[in-house]
Amino acid sequence: MPMYKVRPFQGGPDSAVLAEHLPTCMYRVRNVHRHLQGGGSAAATVSSSPQDEVDPSLQALESRQDEILKRLYELKAAVDGLSKMIQTPDADFDATNIIHADEHPSLTVNAADLDTLLGKDYGALKDIVINANPSLPPLSLLVLHSLLCERYKILSAVHTHSSVKCVPENLLKCFGEQTKKQSRNEYQLGFTLIWKDVPKPQMKFSIQTMCPIEGEGNIARFLFSLLGQKHNAVTATLIDSWVDTAIFQLKEGSNKEKAAVLRSMNTALGRTSWLVGSELTVADVVAWCALQQTESTNAVPANVQKWLKSCENLAPFNSALKLLK
Amino acid sequence: MPGVAARKNQERHRDNAMDPPPADDYAKERYGVLPMIQSQEKPDRVLVRIKDLTGEKADEIVWVRGRIHTSRAKGKQCFLVLRQQQFNVQALVAVGDHASKQMVKFAANINKESIVDIEGVVRKVPQKIGGCTQQDVELHVQRIYVISLAEPRLPLQLDDAIRPEVEGDEEGRATVNQDTRLDNRVIDLRTSTSQAVFHLQSGICQLFRETLICKGFVEIQTPKIISAASEGGANVFTVSYFKSNAYLAQSPQLYKQMCICADFDKVFCIGPVFRAEDSNTHRHLTEFVGLDIEMAFNYHYHEVVDEIADTMVQIFKGLRERFQTEIQTVNKQFPCEPFKFLEPTLRLEYREALAMLREAGVEMGEEDDLSTPSEKLLGRLVKEKYDTDFYILDKYPLAVRPFYTMPDPSNPKISNSYDMFMRGEEILSGAQRVHDPQLLTERALHHGIDLEKIKAYIDSFRFGAPPHAGGGIGLERVTMLYLGLHNVRQTSMFPRDPKRLTP
């Protein structure tokens, strides 16, 4: 043995006494040095014989480590597989399984339960806050606000943030005349619009459990989801894609891009009455608003023209249109 | 040897630079200590304000009165910084046609903080002067006279008193602690920061008056010596009043309400309020200025809440427009984000606040009052969600409000009362008041208040009283929180707290 020995402080019988005085609230660890000590004093409590080359507890520890390493490798492999799939979605991703797994038939409207959609109820008004720049009013959010008003009891409020000096009168009254006769907690949902100097529209709901949502398209998706429409994965993806196209190409894109979008819209609207399927979706709302704000509604293809008309026949769209004038 | 005597004479002059100039000085008429002004004459001389010394005045000869902020002599010239309120300008005395060597020395030896009259030529400077507010010009001194001499030793240095408390390299440089400042308040108030703070405070009062008078309010004056404690009885100062005792008013509450009963419809008052609370916090004073509002309404107390909130918003807007210089000056020493607000003001209900707190992990009973930490946390949560430093919390639990608060018509646990917050701290507390003597008696009994003591109060409602609501704002707190300062003593000119009664 390479270390020097120290004479035990406690005599043989005393050590047993000492052991009895150990606190009982802690768990015991077996003495790994025990088999190296002179047999006499410790022998009474030693369970394994000192001749054993490998302690079973060490073996157990080793096997546990092996197991953990194995699981880590498995996890790593799974993550590698996932990342590969995401890099090349077209090659590896097979959508058929997911479509079959999806129980919902296309466009079923479920009764929306705000509590399940918006999380735990703390017994007070749930308030959605949207910050938007008055120089770029997010028309689609106003349409969605009207759509939400048709379904829920909504307390709407418009504020001006101190970062903007003046807001046009029509924007301050964009929710129409409010009748705030009831107390706040009788409403199902709060919708607070703040005109503020922000580069992009921004939505805040629960600051504890949710990060702010940025961008008109993303907020529109969130608000539309409150209406409780459920779609299968393919339709949902199609809707998502139209929303992005509307925001990035129709609203912010070049003239060439816009023309291309209008062509593909025309084709899509030739097959169905709305952009996706036979019911109004968030894609229609966002695309319609983007088209209104590009100010070129006159020179659009025939199917799109027809679709524009049918949008405008709906009250929420109509009221948003008045705001533009 | 006449040389020795002359030199000794000169030495003496060096010791006391304020002696009359020596006879052989060609510039002796151009400097000196003027006899005390006892209003002997009315000269036609026009004194220019230092803040008006700009590039437009270049090459003009002007008279200026100011304090010597700093002086620095270098060979044949002496640089002075002249200060007037928050503004300062550099002045130069250089040996030449107008100034002699003795005059430069005289200028260099004037004690700091002395008041001087200076005649000089305004000159544009090629490079901006960093340390001064008037960066584009300096003053070339032709005459300099001392009007009032300061003692050579100052209890605190102004430059130390406006130094921002920074960490890092500059840490450890002298700053002045609060008590030294307050003990020598007159000098502390001369600093650019204090000047800005109190100019802004005057602005708050002015805007408060302006806005309310525009809204058709009447300013009233209420007595401060009263016979009975207005709110309960605790925290009230007793003063001897001839053969008996009287109390200092804790709020003009009762008198505001009596004015409403006397058909003044909308009243406000600005005046001192006294609280005998032995609490040594950053936001409690024993005497402060209350901005109080009381207003009769038609059908709903929110008419009053909206009116008060709009008044606050108008004040914030006015400050932002008219007092930007002052805000910037204070920010140099106490950096802070600009004050943000919404218009119309955000109004949340108490139960919403509780829900927000609960979501953040603070468990509170529905009828508990907000503790100071939860008040601060709530302020942060509201700021995060709505990005506003000013909001209203409505519908407080009835149990935590005074007896004269009107209960909610549908829920007996809550009341028609509200608090307003700036940067997460309460600045106003108000409510719809009970204007029915019957209900008032009931509420008072419920709170265990001796009816005899508040008889006069209850009696004032016996002859018909309009429904009314109101609230009181602390001027010092509003100033402190608008500027993002951390102690209410910084915004009270001569603060009174349990440990300070002077100056």
| Paired tokens of A127 | 């308030």
Query: How much is the average pLDDT of B36-49?
Result: 92
User: Three-state SS string across B434-476, please?
Assistant: CCCHHHHHHHHHHCCCCCCCCHHHHHCCCCCCCCEEEEEEEHH
Burial environment of residue B307 by CB neighbours within 10 A (0 to 12, 13 to 18, 19 or more) = buried
The rounded distance, in Å, linking the Cα atoms of A199 and B86 is 37
Nearest CB neighbour to A122, from listed B316, B359, B384: B359
In A, which residues are within 8 Å of B354 by CB distance? 122, 124
Q: Which of B210, B231, B277, B425 is flagged as catalytic?
A: B277
Q: Which of B143, B477, B489, B492 is flagged as catalytic?
A: B477
Collect the ranges in chain A with pLDDT lower than 70. 1-2, 8-24, 34-53, 86-116, 119-121, 177-181, 295-298, 325
Q: Specify whether the CB–CB gap between B115 and B143 falls below 8 A.
A: no
User: Chain B residue closest to A121 (CA)?
Assistant: B355
User: Chain A residue closest to B299 (CA)?
Assistant: A181
Using the Cβ of A293 and the Cβ atoms of chain B, whether some distance falls under 8 Å is answered with no
Task: Tell me the pLDDT of chain B averaged across its residues.
Answer: 89
Q: Count Cβ neighbours within 10 Å for each residue of B396-433 and write b for 16 or more, e otherwise.
A: bbbeebbbbbbbbeeeeebbbbbbbbbbbbbbbbbbbb
Query: How much is the average pLDDT of B12-24?
Result: 62
Tell how far CA A110 is from the center of its chain.
20
- Report the gap between the CA of B359 and the closest CA in chain A (Å): 7
Answer yes or no: B163 catalytic. Answer: no
Q: How confident is the model at residue B293 (pLDDT cuts 50, 70, 90)?
A: very high
Encode pLDDT of B314-360 as tens digits: 999 999 999 999 999 999 899 999 999 998 999 999 989 998 898 88
B382: helix, coil or strand? helix
Query: Beta partners for B497?
Result: B500
Decide if pLDDT at B430 tops 60: yes
Residues whose CB is less than 8 angstroms from the CB of residue B490 and which lie 6 or more positions away in sequence, other chains included: B194, B197, B480
The answer to whether the Cβ–Cβ distance between B320 and A162 falls below 8 Å is yes
Query: How much is the average pLDDT of B35-40?
Result: 91
The answer to whether the B12-148 and B192-491 domains have the same CATH topology is no
| Paired tokens of B344 | 């119309």
Say what the pLDDT of residue B265 is.
93
- Report the gap between the CA of B193 and the closest CA in chain A (Å): 25
User: Chain B residue closest to A161 (CA)?
Assistant: B342
> H-helix or E-strand containing A204?
strand A202-204
Give one DSSP letter per residue of B27-50, joined into a string: TGGGEEEPPP-SS-----PPEEPG
Strand order in the sheet with B390-394: B218-219, B266-274, B287-296, B468-474, B425-432, B417-422, B390-394, B346-349
* ipTM entry: 0.81
Reported as half-sphere exposure (CB side, CA atoms, 13 A), residue A311 has a value of 30
The rounded distance, in Å, linking the Cα atoms of B423 and A86 is 46
Q: Which of B307, B319, B316, B323 is nearest to B341 (CA)?
A: B316
The packing angle between helices A282-294 and A315-324, to 10°, is 20
The distance between the two most distant Cα atoms of chain A, rounded to a whole number of Å, is 104
Using the Cβ of B29 and the Cβ atoms of chain A, whether some distance falls under 8 Å is answered with no
Q: Which residue has the tokens 């398209």?
A: A217
A26-31: Cβ within 8 A, 24+ apart = A30/A57
The rounded distance, in Å, linking the Cα atoms of B347 and A42 is 74
The answer to whether the Cβ–Cβ distance between A129 and B386 falls below 8 Å is yes
Which of A168-182, B430-444, B450-464 is predicted most confidently?
Answer: B430-444
Answer yes or no: B209 catalytic. Answer: no
Say what the pLDDT of residue B149 is.
92
The rounded distance, in Å, linking the Cα atoms of B45 and B60 is 14
Q: How confident is the model at residue B420 (pLDDT cuts 50, 70, 90)?
A: very high
User: Chain A residue closest to B359 (CA)?
Assistant: A208
Of A216-230, B1-15, B115-129, B318-332, minimum mean pLDDT range = B1-15
Phi and psi of B177, rounded to 5°? Answer: -80, 160
Nearest CB neighbour to B355, from listed A123, A131, A192: A123
Using the Cβ of A172 and the Cβ atoms of chain B, whether some distance falls under 8 Å is answered with no
Using the Cβ of A204 and the Cβ atoms of chain B, whether some distance falls under 8 Å is answered with yes
The verdict on domain B192-491 having CATH code 3.30.930.10 is: yes
Answer yes or no: B72 catalytic. Answer: no
Using the Cβ of B339 and the Cβ atoms of chain A, whether some distance falls under 8 Å is answered with yes
Query: How much is the average pLDDT of B365-375?
Result: 88
Q: How confident is the model at residue B289 (pLDDT cuts 50, 70, 90)?
A: very high
Q: Which of A265, A270, A226 is nearest to A246 (CA)?
A: A265
Using the Cβ of A128 and the Cβ atoms of chain B, whether some distance falls under 8 Å is answered with no
Percent of chain B with pLDDT over 70: 94
User: Chain A residue closest to B363 (CA)?
Assistant: A122
Encode pLDDT of B259-275 as tens digits: 999 999 999 999 999 99
Decide if pLDDT at B308 tops 80: yes
Say what the pLDDT of residue A276 is.
87
- Report the gap between the CA of A162 and the closest CA in chain B (Å): 5
The answer to whether the Cβ–Cβ distance between A162 and B343 falls below 8 Å is yes
Using the Cβ of A155 and the Cβ atoms of chain B, whether some distance falls under 8 Å is answered with no
Give the strand pairing for B346-349 and B390-394: parallel
Q: Which of B119, B231, B429, B500 is flagged as catalytic?
A: B429
Reported as half-sphere exposure (CB side, CA atoms, 13 A), residue A14 has a value of 4
Using the Cβ of B342 and the Cβ atoms of chain A, whether some distance falls under 8 Å is answered with yes
Best mutation target among B327, B358, B359 (most A Cβ atoms within 10 Å) is: B359
Q: What angle do CA A129, A132, A135 make, to 5 degrees?
A: 160
Q: Which of B294, B474, B481, B268 is nearest to B390 (CA)?
A: B481
Q: Kindly list the distances between the CA atom of residue B383 and the CA atoms of A284, B355, B391, in Å, as whole numbers in the listed order.
A: 34, 15, 9
The answer to whether the Cβ–Cβ distance between B344 and A209 falls below 8 Å is no
Q: Which residue has the tokens 């208040």?
A: B449
Please give the DSSP secondary-structure letter assigned to residue A274. Answer: S
Q: Kindly list the distances between the CA atom of residue B163 and the CA atoms of A7, B50, B60, B90, B424, in Å, as whole numbers in the listed order.
A: 66, 22, 34, 20, 27
The rounded distance, in Å, linking the Cα atoms of B219 and B232 is 26
Using the Cβ of B350 and the Cβ atoms of chain A, whether some distance falls under 8 Å is answered with no
Q: Specify whether the CB–CB gap between B339 and B316 falls below 8 A.
A: yes
The answer to whether the Cβ–Cβ distance between B387 and A194 falls below 8 Å is yes
User: Chain B residue closest to A195 (CA)?
Assistant: B342
The rounded distance, in Å, linking the Cα atoms of B471 and B297 is 14
Assign residue A38 a region (left: φ > 0; alpha: ψ between -120 and 50; beta: otherwise): beta
Q: Specify whether the CB–CB gap between B256 and B290 falls below 8 A.
A: no
Domain ranges of chain B: 12-148, 158-188, 192-491
- Report the gap between the CA of B386 and the closest CA in chain A (Å): 7
The answer to whether the Cβ–Cβ distance between B385 and A184 falls below 8 Å is no
Encode pLDDT of B47-104 as tens digits: 999 999 998 989 999 999 999 999 998 888 999 999 998 888 999 999 988 888 889 9
Q: Which residue has the tokens 């004269």?
A: B404
Q: Which of B71, B137, B140 is nearest to B106 (CA)?
A: B71
Nearest CB neighbour to A207, from listed B317, B351, B385: B385
Q: Which of B218, B177, B241, B253 is nearest to B456 (CA)?
A: B253
In B, which residues are within 8 Å of A184 by CB distance? 349, 352
Say what the pLDDT of residue A44 is.
46
Query: Beta partners for A158?
Result: A193
Q: Specify whether the CB–CB gap between B23 and B136 falls below 8 A.
A: no
Q: Count Cβ neighbours within 10 Å for each residue of B322-352 and write b for 16 or more, e otherwise.
A: ebeebbebbbebbeeeebbbbbebbbbbbbb
In CATH, the architecture of B12-148 is Beta Barrel (2.40)
Answer yes or no: B375 catalytic. Answer: no
Say what the pLDDT of residue A147 is.
87
Answer yes or no: B275 catalytic. Answer: yes
The answer to whether the Cβ–Cβ distance between B387 and A161 falls below 8 Å is yes
Percent of chain B with pLDDT over 90: 64
Using the Cβ of A192 and the Cβ atoms of chain B, whether some distance falls under 8 Å is answered with yes
Alpha-carbon dihedral of residues B212, B217, B222, B227, nearest 10 degrees?
-110
Tell how far CA B194 is from the center of its chain.
8
Burial environment of residue A69 by CB neighbours within 10 A (0 to 12, 13 to 18, 19 or more) = exposed
Say what the pLDDT of residue B494 is.
94
